[in-house]
């Protein structure tokens, strides 16, 4: 047998390796299997001397060598004229394991496709609900965070980019004016944490402008939302500067 036998494990590390070697060995007699085993050993010596350049080849050959050793020993002890994977209980078990993994992978892919389909359908329903609420001017804290779900926003943008801007603007105004459920400090604090920066920056700018205009909430200023969407950090800086600047007497 092999002079490398003591340097490698006698059991293959994976069903894939075993199935591959068994397929390659089909029909070989003991002498031919021994020739293949010796060729693998020769290549393994070379790979081990090649350093990092031969690392992947070394790993592959070290995994395959025990299987060639096993098949050679099986043919020698059984006297078979040619190796038949179907009559090899070890190979049959490896093939069954491969089929089991393939079925599991197929089931996982189908489950992922089903989950993606359900996610898209759910996002579409929520997007349509938000569009209805926006049109009815009935947005409150119960839907503010959901409106920024990336899947829902994708649906909204595809159906009505204008509605997305409208929903963002209503979020900002609701925060600033403490409308509906946002009158509750706890709900309002949670919304400030959860909502995207473009919305909280818009709300901060509206609040700062209101403080500089004797309490007037400048809802009619379209630049506030556009500025927050384009440069939320700069908008927050502007809001802080306005808040620190005395308003009109």
Higher pLDDT, 49 or 111: 111
Tell me the per-residue pLDDT of 29-88, one tens digit each, with 9 for 90 and over.
889 988 999 999 988 888 888 777 678 888 888 888 999 999 999 998 888 888 988 888
Rounded to the nearest integer, the mean pLDDT of the chain is 77
pTM for this model (two decimals): 0.44
Looking at residue 10, what is its pLDDT? 34
Least confident segment among 27-36, 159-168, 215-224, 240-249: 215-224
**Measuring CA to CA, which residue among 176, 131, 177 is closest to residue 153?**
131
Over residues 90-114, the mean pLDDT reads 88
Q: Is the pLDDT of residue 229 over 60?
A: yes
Q: Is the pLDDT of residue 21 over 70?
A: yes
Looking at residue 158, what is its pLDDT? 61
- Distance between CA 131 and CA 136 in Å, rounded? 9
DSSP per-residue codes, 118-175: HHHHHHHHHHHHHHHHHHTT---HHHHTGGG-HHHHHHHHHH-HHHHHHHHHHHHHHH
Helix (H, G, I), strand (E, B) or coil at 50: coil
Instruction: Give the confidence band of 114 by pLDDT, cuts at 50, 70, 90.
Output: very high
**Measuring CA to CA, which residue among 125, 237, 147 is closest to residue 199?**
147
Please state, in angstroms and as integers, the Cα–Cα distance from residue 178 to each residue in 133, 159, 183, following that order: 18, 29, 5
Looking at residue 8, what is its pLDDT? 33
Instruction: Give the confidence band of 133 by pLDDT, cuts at 50, 70, 90.
Output: low
Tell me the per-residue pLDDT of 164-184, one tens digit each, with 9 for 90 and over.
777 777 778 877 877 766 778
Looking at residue 12, what is its pLDDT? 39
DSSP code, position 5: G
């Amino acid at each position: 047998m092999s002079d490398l036998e003591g340097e490698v494990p006698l059991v293959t590390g994976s069903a894939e390796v075993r199935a591959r070697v068994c397929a390659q060995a089909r029909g070989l007699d003991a002498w031919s299997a021994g020739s293949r085993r010796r060729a693998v050993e020769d290549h393994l010596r070379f790979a081990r001397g090649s350093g990092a350049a031969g690392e992947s080849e070394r790993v592959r050959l070290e995994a395959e060598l025990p299987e060639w050793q096993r098949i050679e020993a099986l043919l020698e002890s059984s006297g078979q004229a040619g190796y038949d994977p179907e009559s090899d209980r070890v190979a049959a078990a490896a093939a069954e394991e491969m089929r089991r993994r393939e079925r599991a992978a197929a089931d996982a892919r189908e489950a992922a496709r089903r989950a993606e389909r359900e996610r898209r359908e759910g996002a579409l329903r929520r997007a349509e609900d938000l569009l209805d609420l926006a049109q009815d001017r009935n947005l409150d804290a119960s839907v503010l965070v959901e409106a920024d779900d990336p899947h829902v926003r994708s649906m909204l943008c595809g159906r009505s980019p204008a509605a997305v801007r409208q929903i963002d603007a209503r979020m900002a105004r609701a925060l600033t004016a403490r409308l509906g459920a946002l009158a509750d400090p706890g709900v309002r604090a949670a919304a400030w944490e959860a909502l995207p920066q473009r919305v909280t920056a818009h709300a901060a700018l509206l609040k700062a402008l209101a403080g500089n205009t004797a309490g007037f909430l400048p809802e009619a200023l379209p630049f506030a939302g556009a500025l927050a969407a384009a440069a939320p950090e700069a908008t927050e800086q502007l809001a802080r500067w306005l808040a620190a600047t005395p308003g009109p007497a």
